[in-house]
């Protein structure tokens, strides 16, 4: 009987170790996906036309993204101001690239003070969204968790051995 107890214990230990490795792998993949695209923006103007200019960086080594639309809101997304479905639709964000697309003018914004109040949400065609609340022209609001995640990714990238 002791033999079968040891076999069962060894089997359960191997199953548990395998599940632990799979969960660790899934967490790392989720983390890399969550921090592979960074989006920044600033407001530009030409006369009375104000429009955001984005700084989008794809730090992924293999994933290509397509931009979808831009939503403009106020009061933490409660008041929808405008959806821009045309100016950025279909622009490609290739692996390891940086692009600076400009969205179309926002007709309801006519001053820099209104730019600061505006919340901008950039969406990708896969459904992923980046909510950007500026604390000033072009300054991003970043939560503590997001700051820690990007700090940790920078540490991983500095410690990584290049495969090329």
Question: pLDDT tens digit string along 22-61?
Answer: 998 888 877 777 778 888 888 888 888 888 888 888 888 7
Domain co-membership, 83 together with 115: yes
d(CA 117, CA 98) in angstroms, rounded, equals 27
Domain co-membership, 26 together with 42: no
Domain co-membership, 123 together with 72: yes
Domain range for 74: 37-143
CA angle 130, 95, 122 (to 5 degrees): 15
Residue bearing the bigger pLDDT, 107 or 161:
107
Binned at pLDDT 50, 70 and 90, residue 20 comes out as very high
What is the pLDDT averaged over residues 76-80?
79
In this structure, are residues 153 and 35 in contact, taking their beta carbons and an 8 Å threshold? yes
Q: How many domains does the chain have?
A: 2
Percent of the chain with pLDDT over 90: 18
Domain co-membership, 56 together with 30: no
Find, among 39, 32, 34, 73, the residue nearest to 53 by Cα: 39
Percent of the chain with pLDDT over 70: 91
């Amino acid at each position: 009987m002791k033999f079968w107890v040891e076999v069962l214990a060894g089997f359960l230990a191997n199953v548990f170790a395998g599940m632990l490795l799979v969960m660790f792998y899934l967490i790392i993949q989720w983390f890399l996906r969550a921090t592979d695209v960074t989006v920044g923006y600033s407001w530009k103007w030409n006369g009375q036309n104000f429009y955001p200019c984005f700084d989008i960086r794809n730090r992924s080594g293999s994933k290509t993204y397509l931009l979808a639309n831009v939503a403009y809101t106020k009061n933490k997304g409660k008041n929808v101001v405008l959806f821009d479905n045309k100016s950025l639709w279909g622009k490609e964000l290739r692996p390891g690239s940086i692009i600076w697309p400009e969205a179309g003018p926002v007709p309801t914004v006519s001053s820099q003070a209104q730019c600061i109040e505006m919340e901008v949400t950039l969406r990708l065609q896969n459904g992923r969204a980046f909510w950007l609340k500026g604390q000033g022209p072009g300054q991003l609001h970043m939560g503590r968790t997001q700051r820690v995640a990007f700090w940790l990714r920078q540490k991983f990238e500095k410690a990584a051995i290049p495969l090329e």
